[in-house]
Amino acid sequence: MKPSILNYTREELSRFLEEQQQPAYRLQQILQGLYQNQWPQFEQFSTLPKEFRQLLDDNFVLRSFTLTDTHISEIDKTTKFLWELPDGLRIESVIIYEGKRVTYCISSQVGCPLDCKFCATGKMGILRNLTAGEIIEQVLQMNSRSEAPLTNIVFMGMGEPLLNLDEVLPAAHKFIAADGFGLGKNRITISTAGIIPGIKQLADQAEPFKLALSLNAVSQESREKIMPVTRKYPLSDLLDSVREYTAKTKKTVTFEYVLMDGLNSSEADARALVRLAHPFKAKINIIPCNTDDPLYHPPSEQDIQKFEWIVNGKRTITRRRRKGWEIQAACGQLYAENLTKTARAAKPHNNKPIMDRKKP
């Protein structure tokens, strides 16, 4: 199969032009067609000679995804997409509309190796990393379907972004590049469950991106129960790395806290969260758990309000509404539902229960 041109850097495209004995200014024409005009077919690159458009089409693909499922919330228009990749694997992306803010939640891996207990993606395990081109294509595909212009991108979809930084960072830099998507670096947020080496690498970027930490618990013991990665990267060391990130970048970190009834949502948990966040330049987002797993469900509205009230007394806290909860917009849920549908469709139709079939 032909490679995706979205995987190619400026330098690689320049070498291709040299090999094809094309003038250097063709590079800017190609980049403009890819990222400013966002044309999905090479024949639309009207600034290029017809013969060169055909040459590009012979050597590269522009779009490689197939849209296999879409869910749109009737409540808030949150839209979730399930894409099939050229190798048959599938990933999810989400558009979230909040007033003038339009956020794309994108994936960085097919599946995830971290096995966070409340996350549907964690049940998939890890299948592979996405390429930079596949990360970028999610945004291009959603741009052609969005009801309003993109304002923000969050790496909070399927996968752990800091375990795929070799592909995530080139994609993120393309999102902010003047000859790319032209978004401000503060419009890009990279989320992590707590990969310390990745946080340190983010802190050392010349143009650092915003960091969100999926905290979800306030002690080593409680965090280990729901996030096994904590055993490798203890909470105390993790918080040290976040402190280093904020000191180097001068950026505010976001603590994401998924509220789960009976696990991390008590009044004592709220007070402990205030103490934990106190030394940091940080904001706190709480999110009522969005999962169909009966072991992990959101607290009552009364308990959520009490949690908010306690934290708000000392720190500014934002409750992120469960956008798209009724369409299973949390990571991995549409993927899992689609697999179930496919499995059911593949089963042979037989009125007799399998247990009643006689052995030959």
Amino acid identity of residue 262, one-letter, is G
Neighbour count for residue 26 (Cβ, 10 Å): 19
Average pLDDT over residues 60-73: 97
- Establish whether 331 is a catalytic residue: yes
- Asked whether 251 and 283 are in contact (CB, 8 A), the reply is no
- Is the pLDDT at 135 greater than 80? The verdict is yes
Q: CB of 286 within 8 A of CB of 259?
A: yes
Contact (Cβ atoms closer than 8 angstroms) between residue 122 and residue 114: yes
Of residues 11, 267, 331, 337, which has the active-site annotation? 331
Q: For residue range 313-323, list pLDDT tens digits in order.
A: 877 788 876 55
- Of the pLDDT bands very low, low, confident and very high (cuts 50, 70, 90), residue 335 is low
pLDDT band at 347 (very low <50, low <70, confident <90, very high): very low
Give residue 314's pLDDT: 78
Residue from 140, 167, 125, 82 nearest 338 by CA: 82
What does DSSP say about strands 282-288 and 253-259: parallel, antiparallel, or unpaired?
parallel
The residue with greater pLDDT, 183 or 354, is 183
Q: How far apart are the first and last CA of the chain?
A: 45
Rounded Cα distance, 36 and 143, in Å: 11
Q: Give, in degrees to the nearest 5, the angle at Cα 296 between 293 and 300.
A: 120
**Fold held by 5-59:** DNA polymerase; domain 1 (1.10.150)
Domain ranges of the chain: 5-59, 66-344
Adjacent-strand bridge partners of 54: none
Task: For residue 214, give every residue at least 6 positions away whose Cβ sits within 8 Å of its Cβ, in sequence order, or none.
Answer: 116, 191, 192, 193, 194, 227, 256, 258
Beta bridge partners of 81: 70, 93
CATH of domain 66-344: 3.20.20.70
Q: What is the pLDDT of residues 177-200, one digit of tens each?
A: 999 999 999 999 999 999 999 999
Distance of CA 59 to the CA centre of its chain: 29
